[in-house]
Amino acid sequence: MNVGIITIFPEYFEGVVKTGMIRKAIENNLLDVIFENPRDYATDRYKSVDDYPYGGGSGMVMKYDTLKQAIENARTRISGPVIYMSPQGTPFHQAYAKDLAREEGFILVCGRYEGIDERLMSIVDEEISIGDFVLSGGEPAAAVVLDAVVRLVPGVLGDENSLSEESFEHNLLEYPQYTRPSHIDGMDVPDVLLSGHHGNIARWRLKERLKRTLVKRPDMLKDVYLSEEEKNLLEEVKKEILETLSMLGV
Ligand code: 9D3
């Protein structure tokens, strides 16, 4: 996988490419990340990459020419879509990450200031937003997308990955995890996890996933396919929650 990142702050990504899974993916030649800085293509004595907006208004706009040259240079080394990180983009989600993981590569364009000259949209293929909150630039969003995609590239994580990745596809939240000690500060690990009964453990975990999803993300249950076992467990969970609520007088 070849990823190009267009940014006037390449140093933002120093930690990103030197840490954990992304570092290992680069070391194992499963990933290459290259950077292009629009500043390197500025020819005036201030090395400007931004300018005032036509029509007035506050803030600055990233200039067409320097940003275009940076993108075109990345394009000579990377084949795949040019993706503009933008608050107006398509909301990023797991299925989007999966699609990008199947590409030969892609180029992430990080904006700063109030945005980029609209005419750059003629060389942009896709726009991605990572959520409805205001960032000061595209860099943190690009780091998020890079992380989510690289971990899906075959060989980057162990093969236990492909299995657990199914669980997100399954659209339920994860079950609670415990590690040693089995008793601490008056709190115990649920007995079933110490029982060694794999069938009961699997059932308990599935039920906890359904419970968590129902309580924390009921929206996720709207369009999820549930097996008969899952439907039964979900009904059990609902009953238990209602019993608890009536016990509390709510
Ligand atoms: C006048 C309003 N502007 C600032 C409050 C709009 C604005 C411009 C530029 C808001 C954010 C940004 C910078 N954001 C990104 O580059 C960005 C982003 C985001 O802010 N939220 C979620 N995903 C993304 S992807 C890129």
pLDDT at 161: 61
Percent of the chain's residues with pLDDT above 90: 94
On the question of pLDDT at 162 being above 70, the answer is: no
Q: For residue 21, report the distance from its CA to the centre of ligand 1, in Å.
A: 27
- In tens, the pLDDT along 72-85 reads 999 999 999 999 99
SS3 sequence of 12-30: HHHHHHCCHHHHHHHHCCC
Q: What's the CA-to-centroid distance between 87 and ligand 1, angstroms?
A: 5
> Pocket of ligand 1, candidates 7, 113, 128, 135: which has the most ligand atoms within 8 Å of its Cβ, to mutate?
135
Q: What is the mean pLDDT of residues 152-175?
A: 77
Residues 34-67 pLDDT 10s: 999 999 999 999 999 999 999 999 999 999 999 9
Please answer whether residues 41 and 84 qualify as being in contact, where contact means their C-beta atoms are separated by less than 8 angstroms.
no
The two structure tokens encoding residue 93: 């989600």
Burial class (CB in 10 A: 0-12, 13-18, 19+), 23: middle
Yes or no: say if 1 and 100 are a contact pair by the CB < 8 Å rule.
no
pLDDT at 199 over 90: yes
Ligand 1 geometric centre to CA of 120 (Å):
17
Name, in order, each residue with C-beta under 8 angstroms of 58's C-beta and a sequence gap of 6 or more.
Answer: 114
| Strand-strand pairing, 187-188 and 183-184 | antiparallel
Q: Of all protein residues, whose CA lies closest to atom 18 belonging to ligand 1? A: 87
Rounded to 5°, the CA angle 53-120-94 comes to 115
Full set of structural domains in the chain with CATH: 2-150 (3.40.1280.10), 169-247 (1.10.1270.20)
Whether the pLDDT of residue 201 is over 90: the answer is: yes
pTM of the model: 0.94
Q: Which amino acid is at 9?
A: F
Instruction: Report the separation in Å between the CA atom of 175 and the middle of ligand 1, taken as the mean of its atom positions.
Output: 34
By most ligand atoms within 8 Å of CB, the mutation choice from 86, 110, 145 for ligand 1 is 86
Residue having the nearest C-alpha atom to atom 1 of ligand 1: 114
**Residues lining ligand 1, Cβ inside 6 A:** 85-87, 111, 114-115, 129-131, 133-135, 137-138, 141
Which amino acid residue places its CA nearest to atom 3 of ligand 1?
114
pLDDT reading at 165 higher than 70 = no
* In the chain, alpha helices (H): 14-17, 20-27, 64-77, 94-101, 139-150, 160-169, 191-194, 198-216, 218-222, 228-247
**Parallel, antiparallel, or unpaired for β 2-6 and 50-51?**
unpaired
Mean pLDDT of 114-125: 98
